[in-house]
Structures are given as C-alpha cells and as structure tokens.
Amino acid sequence: MTRKFEWHLRRKLADQGLYKTTELVPLLAERGVSLSREQVYRLVTSPPQRLNMEVLDALCEILACTPNDLITFEEVAVKQVKTAGGGMVTGIGSLRPVPAQIKRPGKE
C-alpha cells in the first residue's frame, strides 16, 4: 500500500471567490510570505512536493480552513507483477521490460 495525496487549494480559492492566482500574492504578502507570481501559480495549479509551514499557515488563515481541508490522503494498492525469473516488480504502471536482442553483424 502506498499513500496518494490530493491538493485542494484551487477549489478552496474558488470557494472564497479568488479565481486568479495573482490575487493570492498580496494576501500572502500581508501575512509576511513573499512569493513571486510564478511560485504562487505553481502552488495553486500543481501539488507541492514540499511546503513551508509559514506558507501553509498563511493559506489556512486566508481561506479560513485547516490543513486537512487543503490536503487529503488516500491509500492506494500497489499492483505487483511476477516476472519470469520469479522476482516481483511493483509500481511500474504500464511499463514492461523489453528483452534484449543480440544480432550478429551481417545477419538479420
């Protein structure tokens, strides 16, 4: 089992009537968080890999919510595939190993 998380910042902003990411920049600045327009855009449009606690606190204050409202976690089963050698391959999705082909020069 592995955990997958969902980032709900865009939805929470829409609930507050904030539809442009640039509207969030001054609200964060009022709370001592200085992020560029580009950084705020990335924060809103894609889930962050790391998140500063001051940024999270400012977002929660602006949106009147808790971190649990911004981030939800879900348990996801990892599919295990048996290989010909008896080993287990996990979490590679649709990728499959391709056997090597050795060709002698001059023969096809």
For the whole model, what pTM was predicted? Answer: 0.66
Ranges of the chain whose pLDDT falls below 50: none
pLDDT for the residue numbered 87: 64
Residue 96, in any domain of the structure: no
Can you give the CATH number for the domain in which 37 is found?
Answer: 1.10.260
Residue 106, in any domain of the structure: no
pLDDT, tens digit (0-9, with 9 covering 90-100), for 48-76: 999 999 999 999 999 999 999 999 988 88
Total number of domains constituting the chain? 1
For β-strands 2-7 and 71-76, DSSP reports them as antiparallel
pLDDT for the residue numbered 84: 61
Residue 98, in any domain of the structure: no
Instruction: Please provide the average confidence, as pLDDT, over all residues in the chain.
Output: 86
The answer to whether 68 touches 60, Cβ cutoff 8 Å, is no
